[in-house]
Amino acid sequence: MSDPFRLDGLVAVVTGAAGKLGPIWVEALLDAGAAVFAVELDGAEISSAFESLRGVHDETRLVLHRADVLDRDALIVARDTCGRTLGGVHVLVNNAGIDQPASVGGLVSHRLEDVPLDVCRTILEVNTLGTFQVTQVFGAEMVKARRGSIINIGSLYASVSPDARLYDHMALEPPFLKPPAYGASKAAVVNLTRYFSTVWGPYGVRVNTLSPGGVLGDQDPEFQRKFNDRVPLGRMAVDADLRGPLRFLASDASSYVTGTELRVDGGFTAW
C-alpha cells in the first residue's frame, strides 16, 4: 500500500521560502519527495537554514527564484520558469508575509491611536493581497490541470487578539504592540481560503490554511516564559511540529479536506 503522505514526482512552490518559516515548509516537501520552486523577494537575506538545504539538493530538486508577490508580471515569469525547470505546480504554499516579532532589535512602537496607516497598508498588501495574487497566478494552472493543493500560512492571531501582557516587560515607550493589521491580514487569508476552496473545488483543487502558533526562535526568556504559560502544551512550537501538518495538507492524506483552517498552536486558541 502506497504512503499517502508521499509527494514523489510532484512540484511544489513556496513563497517567502528563504526566511524564518519558509525553510521548514521547503524541507518538509523535499523530505516527502517533491521538487521545490522557492520564491523569495529580490534582495531579501537568505537564511542559513535555506542555504543548508541548497547544499544538500541540486537544482533538479530545489530552485531559488526571486520575485515580489505584489508584482503580477514577476509572478507570471516565476510560474513560467517553474514550468520550464521543474514542471507544472501541484502544491502551492503561500508563506510570504510580514510580521514584527518582539525579538527583533530596534523596534519602533506606537500607541494604538497613532499607528501609521502606511504600516497597516504594507502588512495588509503583502499578507493578504500577495496571497491572493500568488493564488491567482499559480492556482489558475492547477485549475487547468484539475488537481492541486494550496496551503495558505495563517496564524493563531487570525483567531484571537495578541495579548499585550506578553510584551509588557519590554523597555519601550510607548509599550510594544503587535501590529493590529497582522491579525486582520491573517483572518482575511482564512476567509480567502474558504472562498477559493468553494470556487475551485469542482476542479479538484483543494485550498486550506495552516495556522501556526508561536514558533521558538530568538525570543527573550521572559517572553518565552509568559507565552509557554499561555499554551496548554506548555511550550512554543519547534520546526518538527510544523512539518507533519504541512505534509498532511499537501498530500493525498488530506484528499477530502478543503476550506479548513488547521491550527497548530499547542492549544493556544482553545481557551
Name the H helices within the chain.
Answer: 22-31, 48-56, 72-85, 117-124, 130-145, 180-200, 221-229, 239-250
Going by C-alpha positions, the residue among 178, 164, 186 that lies closest to residue 230 is: 164
Phi, then psi, of 7 in degrees rounded to 5 = -125, 30
* Average pLDDT of the residues of the chain: 95
CB 28 within 8 A of CB 246: yes
Per-residue pLDDT of the chain (271 residues; tens, 9 = 90+): 589 999 999 999 999 999 999 999 999 999 999 999 999 999 999 999 999 999 999 999 999 999 999 999 999 999 999 999 999 999 999 999 998 644 345 567 889 999 889 889 999 999 999 999 999 999 999 999 999 999 999 999 999 999 999 999 998 889 888 889 999 999 999 999 999 999 999 999 999 999 999 999 999 999 999 999 999 999 999 999 999 999 999 999 999 999 999 999 999 999 8
Going by C-alpha positions, the residue among 97, 91, 123 that lies closest to residue 211 is: 97
What percent of the chain is predicted at pLDDT more than 90? 89
Domains of the chain from N-terminus onward: 11-262 (3.40.50.720)
- The residues carrying an active-site annotation are 182
> Model pTM?
0.95
pLDDT in tens, 136-180: 999 999 999 999 999 999 999 999 999 999 999 998 889 888 889
